[in-house]
Amino acid sequence: MDACILGFHDVDRTRLALAGGKGANLGELSAIPGVPVPYGFCVTTEAYEEVVERDASVGALIGELSGLRADDRAGIAAVCGRLRAAVEGLTVPAGVRRDIARHLEEAEAREAEARDADAGGRGETAGGRGAAYAVRSSATAEDLPSNSFAGQQDTYLNVRGADAVIDAVRRCWASLFTDRAVAYRIRNDVDHRAVRLAVVVQRMVFPDAAGIMFTADPVSSNRTVVSIDAGFGLGEALVSGHVDADTYRVRAGRIIDRRIATKTKELRALPSGGTREHPVEPARRDAPVLGDEQILELERLGRRIEAHFGAPQDIEWALCDGAFHILQSRPVTTLYPVPPSPAGAPAGEKRVYVSYGHRQMMTDAFAPLGLSFFSLLHDRLGRTAGVVAGNRFYKDVSAELTSHWARPAMLRSLDQVDVLMADALRAVLKRKDLVASLPHGRTSMLDFGKGGPLPIARQYLRLAREDDHRVVPELIARTEATVDRLRRGIAGKTGDELFAYIIDDHDVLAELTFDPRSVAAAFIGIQAVNWVDRHMEAWLGEKNAADVIARSADHNVVAAMGLDLLDVADAVRGHPGIVRHLETAGRDTLLTGLSRFEGGAAVRDVILGYLRRYGMHCAGGIDITRTRWSEDPTLLVPLILGDVRNFPPGERGRRVERGRADAERAMEDLLHRVGKLPGGAGKARKAARKMSLIRHFIGYREYSKHSLLLRYGIYKTALMEEAARLAARGIVERPEDVYFLSIEEFRKAVVTGELDHALITARREEHDAYRRLTPPRVITSEGEVITGGYDAGTLPEGALAGVAVSSGVVEGRARVVLSMADADVREGDILVTAFTDPSWSPLFVSVRGVVMEVGGVMTHGAVVAREYGLPAVAGVEAATRRIGDGQLIRVNGSEGYVEILPDS
């Protein structure tokens, strides 16, 4: 068998490197019993290599692509034009031409047999003028479970005769270098030489109707719903969006929805070759393309194909003389994975899951080691971290949704951290059939450790009554004493002893997490804020009164992170050489290189002091694999230089004093006004007490995550030293490979010196695929994504709705920032981002307002915005896509919306 040409019967998913994604899938399809696939063959990547890759002139031109940027349209067009011309001018070797001709003759013979067997002409080619073929590109990087480059290369329809087929094959090879394909690869960091092209040559059918079938609803992602688009004539017009199509939705053998389009055009094949659009005659324009039995037959075919591939499929089909033909099937790569049901759950049982990441301001995918560590923490807390889907944690809230007391408590809690999630769950509750089908069970709302909520309640009442300003400093000192013991105890430990020590230390972490006094202290600040906001609005009509009262409150570690960086900027300011060094230094030279400059030693000491206090932080820090500031101080450089550029010396002190003065004035004013109300003396006493609790306790709300990261920073340093030893022994290629292992797998590799390298490769590829997915806030066990929204009827026209999390109104230039590494903000900018965690607080120092896609009134971004007096709106869906970088916007943090303003 010549590997340059392979029939579909010789191809399956294991031959992707030879047949490309499309060819491999067609080979698999052809082997499924009961799935009719038109005969065809693959001109494999070996033929591409022999003809294209070995040509020196083509190779030189491919080399010219390596230095181009995706936005360099002119450069890409110039090189690609020469490349395509060169490829289309290549000579196809005689052996390859003979093999193509032989397979075409075999196809003709099969065609003749089919006509003899069915005098009615089922499957007959148009006009009976001989076999015609569809010639399609099949790249090695397309139609994969983790990726889809489909549509980047060319397809040719109704191609007749060996010479025309060979010419179409050559043009398909050339289409690997279309402008769009090259730009796509550059954007996705794919090596141009790593993608090779096979070509599929498939007997053409000339359908009465054709279309696309998704075995999971592309709108809701529900895996139990099949969605079918159908139009008259060839399916290519429908795929390209040139014609309208009927849409049918089917669930378990029942048509649940249909939309009949007005179809004015159809694509038909010409007897001489090629295709042409024709108008649809008036009598058929509003007629359904498919009958009910045909729709259900397609659903059955789709489910059979999906079962074979083991994943939802995007299927191209054609209907010719009453018989269906399957032309292609590829995985649907945009669906978010369905969270797994618990072991032993009845098949088909419905459940509802919420994203843990949206509650924790960490919606990125965790690396496997990060998943493992976070699961270990929750295991020691006596609860589960939830189920893992797409390398993110999801929590099953079915029990809460079916509990009369837990349901409102959960919704109130979610209103504080992510209103869109709460609204999505309210949308679930409106679907009575779904709620009725959910299982009942034990709710986790009362998971407060071994003693339950009673010890916490007692501490809460005691601390609120005593209002002792020494409580929070004592709690912080106790935690940091355990961190000092950890730092001393872990020193010098390696191998199995190190892992045992880290795992045992999670018992200390669990004890601190559930300490009743600590939990109560955090609750006191939150409840005091809620009390003041509620009562000041009711008594005085003053919204969000606690925002100002909380400014410069005691012991707010997250706010201090941003303010303390202003001191670092003061140390750098006035040293132009050091500024230039910071702009260009790498992670390994940033600190060591400071010794070359006057004042460099002092600056180094200041930066190291900052890193000792906060260096364990980073974006997404609850994933232990994330690079900490202490590991790469260059992550702080844009923030330091922004502070140097935007503020005069001494800004930290001025901000703290201004915040404290603002808070004192606000309390004095509010209490004075309350005192004038009926019963004002008693109301003022209560209000003063709650305001005092805010000042003493609200800062502690932010300490819990910081205390976790204090330990994570120490764990990470020790583990990466162990990973470096693995790399030195040749067990891993580089230390970061351990990110794709669980704790126990990492531990076993250290102890035994054995590791399956294929496991790391597979998990890295899987993780890269998951990173590109957008995690839904709420998803069901059927894969249906349920969304919430706001009533925008009371907002200004065109305003983007959100939730008010820090009062005030401000206008400024939007600075869309997706990563702290790209944070180039100027004073007066308004930060627009997906979400923030404590590591973002230094950036808040330099902006005038904040817009976030994720969050609520008690999430980190909102707390820091209030501390710094920044108007902020959270829960603005798709804000980073709907607001353009540099646009003038108005943020209304009092009412909860954003307006895009015309440029002046």
Q: What is the dihedral of CA 437, 854, 382, 522, to 10 degrees?
A: -130
Pairing of strands 830-833, 809-816: parallel
- Other CB atoms within a 10 A radius of the CB of residue 318 amount to 22
Contact 456, 520 (CB under 8 A): yes
What CA–CA distance (Å, rounded) separates 561 from 652? Answer: 11
Q: How far apart are CA 315 and CA 329, in angstroms?
A: 4
Q: How far apart are CA 410 and CA 339, in angstroms?
A: 20
In the three-class reduction of DSSP (H, G, I as helix; E, B as strand; rest coil), residue 258 is classed as strand
Cα dist from 896 to 630, 792, 802, whole Å:
36, 11, 5
The residues facing 225 across adjacent strands are 251
Give the integer Cα–Cα distance in Å for 558 and 614: 9
Inter-helix orientation angle 703-728/495-513, to 10°: 170
As a whole number of angstroms, the distance between CA 56 and CA 432 comes to 67
Return d(Cα 370, Cα 100) in angstroms, integer: 52
Q: Which helix (H) or strand (E) holds 890?
A: strand 888-892
- β-pairing, 849-852 with 872-874? parallel
- The enclosing H or E element of 417 equals helix 406-417
The secondary structure of residue 49, as a DSSP letter, is: I
Cα(775)–Cα(764) distance, rounded to whole angstroms? 18
Task: Give 82: exposed, middle or buried? Use CB within 10 Å, 0-12, 13-18, 19+.
Answer: middle
**Residue 491 CA to its chain's centroid (Å):** 37
Residues 512, 514, 519, 520: what is their CA dihedral angle, to the nearest 10 degrees?
-120
278 is catalytic: no
Q: Which residues touch 302 (CB under 8 Å, ≥6 apart)? A: 213, 215, 226, 313, 315
Q: Which residue has the tokens 């709620």?
A: 435
815: helix, strand or coil: strand
In terms of Cβ atoms closer than 10 Å to its own Cβ (0-12, 13-18, 19+), residue 435 is middle
Which DSSP state fits 53? I
CB 224 within 8 A of CB 202: no
Distance, in Å, from the CA atom of 11 to the CA atom of 594, rounded to the nearest integer, reads 60
**Choice among 617, 696, 767, 860 that is catalytic:** 860
Burial 482-512 (b: 16+ CB within 10 A, else e): bbeebeeebeeeeeeebbeebbebbebbbeb
Residue whose token pair is 């190779």 = 59
Nearest to 531 by CA among 703, 697, 686, 702: 686
- Secondary element (H or E) of residue 851: strand 849-852
* Interatomic CA distance for residues 274 and 302, integer angstroms: 29
- DSSP letter, residue 592: G
Distance CA 875, CA 891 (A): 13
Report helix, strand or coil for 809: strand
Using the structure block, give the residue that is written with the tokens 């994969």: 144
Could you list the beta-strand ranges (E) of 172-287: 197-203, 209-214, 225-232, 246-251, 254-259, 265-269, 275-279
Catalytic positions are 860
